[in-house]
Amino acid sequence: MGVCLVFDYCYPGKYALCALAGAAETVPGVRLFFPHEPVGLQRVVRERVALGERVIVAFSFYSPSFPESAARLSALKTAVPEGWLSIAGGVHATAETKQTLEAGFDLVCVGEGERPLLALLRADSVLPGFVSRTARGPKPAPVQLDEFAPFAVRHRQFGAIELTRGCIYACRFCQTPFMSKARFRHRSVENTRHWVQQMARAEIRDVRFISPTSMSYGSADESVNLDAVEALLAACREVMAPSMRLYFGTFPSEVRPEHVTPEALKVLKRYVNNDNLIIGGQSGSDAVLQKSNRGHDVEAIERAVRISVEGGFTPNVDFILGLPGESRAEVEQTLALMRRLTSLGARVHGHTFMPLPGTPFRDMAPGDIDAPTKTELDRLRVYGHWEQQIEIGRGLAQRRSQ
């Protein structure tokens, strides 16, 4: 009997699923499918079940997208009632295992997914990392990124290369360090070069990286290792076609403000194609930054913007409104900082605080934005999904209380 792995290949879960596909395509006899919409998902599962294959359907989602993933699972169960196994993973499934199982998923992967998925595809007797309604498998060994491909070359499913997993900064609103641990694990220069070369051979145009803090590459602590960053970028350029573009320090890999220096930007200028940087600012209040465990102050944000503009980069600065304990005076401090930064040439990317499961702030009230603040955000042309995140945050809080 053949094994069929079907991915619920929807944004934003496709970043994780792309990497898992890279691991899965190394298992002999496993067929992979990547339907991009619910109707296609139902069609593929129905066809493979009818052929008598062992069908596994994989979902990965963040907390804000959990309801949509659960709805697609429910629709799939209605369309194809039996004959297949559903698995779920990602930061929300890890933090809210019971809730995920109650939504109807058969197995939930807690933590990193590469080793558990391979064990499941090989039909091993022990399934590390998986939890069902009746059993819990042992914890798998931590993943070293060089062990696994960042994407599925054979199936031409390319995505951003995960450069660093885990984050030492452990901001209290962020899920990353609490799922992947508060330490850095970096993909090596040689391994990254190999996968960029595979992209070149496949005529993929854009090379991007996934990192919680891109200028931390090659470092084990708060310091910046510019030699490591330059070695990485230079190695990538060596194997890239002239028409390919290299992006670093932009989505999905932001830059911490204290890491923005003239020396760092000179290195980037030599290699990258992006003319902008994503800088994590988050608040205009030193007190709020400290309570959130950001590890930098307001002065560092302003300095980063000035240096970026002087260095020829447009800074896009992230802010989170409605962080726990934020007073009206602190909101005004954030708005004042936004005004100063936009006058310097920055763009402001707005978010509303969401109490994400698995974080120290998970039990806090969701953020809200009052009418005067909304008016000012509109005047400053703050972009992003900050309005939608008000409702998403309320939904997270409501599900938490159920």
**What is the spatial distance between Cα 314 and Cα 298, in angstroms, rounded to a whole number?**
19
**Taking the C-alpha atoms of 237, 240, 242 and 243 in order, what is their torsion angle to the nearest 10 degrees?**
-120
Q: Pick from 286, 261, 389: which is nearest to 337 by CA?
A: 286
Q: Pick from 125, 126, 124, 92: which is nearest to 108 by CA?
A: 92
Q: Pick from 64, 62, 120: which is nearest to 87 by CA?
A: 120
- pLDDT tens-digit readout, 297-323: 999 999 999 999 999 999 999 999 999
Task: Kindly state the tokens that stand for 34.
Answer: 């990547």
Confidence bin at 184 (pLDDT 50/70/90): very high
**What is the spatial distance between Cα 237 and Cα 296, in angstroms, rounded to a whole number?**
32
Q: What pLDDT, on a 0 to 100 scale, did the predictor assign at position 400?
A: 83
- Is pLDDT above 90 for 170? no
Mean of per-residue pLDDT scores for the chain: 95
Which residue in this structure is represented by tokens 């830059």? 255
pTM here is: 0.93
**What is the spatial distance between Cα 94 and Cα 179, in angstroms, rounded to a whole number?**
7
Q: What pLDDT, on a 0 to 100 scale, did the predictor assign at position 11?
A: 75
- Is pLDDT above 70 for 22? yes
- Neighbouring-strand partners of residue 301: none
Residue 224 φ then ψ, to 5°: -105, 130
Q: What pLDDT, on a 0 to 100 scale, did the predictor assign at position 225?
A: 97
Confidence bin at 8 (pLDDT 50/70/90): very high
Q: With helix as H, strand as E and coil as C, how does the chain read?
A: CCEEEEECCCCCCHHHHHHHHHHHCCCCCEEEECCCCHHHHHHHHHHHHHCCCEEEEEEECCHHHHHHHHHHHHHHHHHCCCCEEEEEECHHHHHCHHHHHHCCCCEEECCCCHHHHHHHHCCCCCCCCEECCCCECCCCCCCCHHHCCCCECCCCECCCEECEECCCCCCCCCCHHHHHCCCCEECCHHHHHHHHHHHHHCCCCEECEEECCHHHCCCCCCCCCHHHHHHHHHHHHHHCCCCCEECCCCCCECECHHHCCHHHHHHHHHHCCCCEEEEEEECCCHHHHHHCCCCCCHHHHHHHHHHHHHCCCEEEEEEEECCCCCCHHHHHHHHHHHHHHHHHCCEEEEEECCCCCCCCCCCCCCCCCCHHHHHHHHHCCCECCHHHHHHHHHHHHHHHHC
Contact yes or no for 195/150 (Cβ under 8 A):
yes
- Is pLDDT above 90 for 272? yes
Confidence bin at 13 (pLDDT 50/70/90): confident
Q: Pick from 349, 372, 248, 267: which is nearest to 301 by CA?
A: 349
Q: What pLDDT, on a 0 to 100 scale, did the predictor assign at position 176?
A: 82
- In this predicted structure, which of 9-23, 142-156, 194-208 has the lowest mean pLDDT? 9-23
Please report the domains of the chain, with CATH numbers, ordered by start residue: 3-131 (3.40.50.280), 160-274 (3.30.750.210)
- Is pLDDT above 90 for 251? no
Task: Kindly state the tokens that stand for 1.
Answer: 């009997």
Percent of the chain residues topping a pLDDT of 90: 92
- pLDDT tens-digit readout, 46-93: 999 999 999 999 999 999 999 999 999 999 999 999 999 999 999 999
Q: What pLDDT, on a 0 to 100 scale, did the predictor assign at position 1?
A: 65
Q: What pLDDT, on a 0 to 100 scale, did the predictor assign at position 51?
A: 95
- Is pLDDT above 90 for 14? no
**What is the spatial distance between Cα 359 and Cα 393, in angstroms, rounded to a whole number?**
14
Q: Pick from 273, 266, 267, 217: which is nearest to 240 by CA?
A: 273
Confidence bin at 179 (pLDDT 50/70/90): confident
CA distances from 218 to 211, 224, 237, 258, 358 (A): 12, 8, 18, 17, 27
CA distances from 206 to 245, 247, 248, 257, 291 (A): 5, 7, 11, 25, 38
**What is the spatial distance between Cα 164 and Cα 188, in angstroms, rounded to a whole number?**
10
- pLDDT tens-digit readout, 210-238: 999 999 999 999 999 999 999 999 999 99
Which residue in this structure is represented by tokens 């809730």? 99
Q: What pLDDT, on a 0 to 100 scale, did the predictor assign at position 182?
A: 77
User: Rounded to 5 degrees, what angle do the CA atoms 383, 62, 380 make?
Assistant: 10
Which residue in this structure is represented by tokens 């194809």? 80
- Is pLDDT above 80 for 351? yes
Percent of the chain residues topping a pLDDT of 70: 100
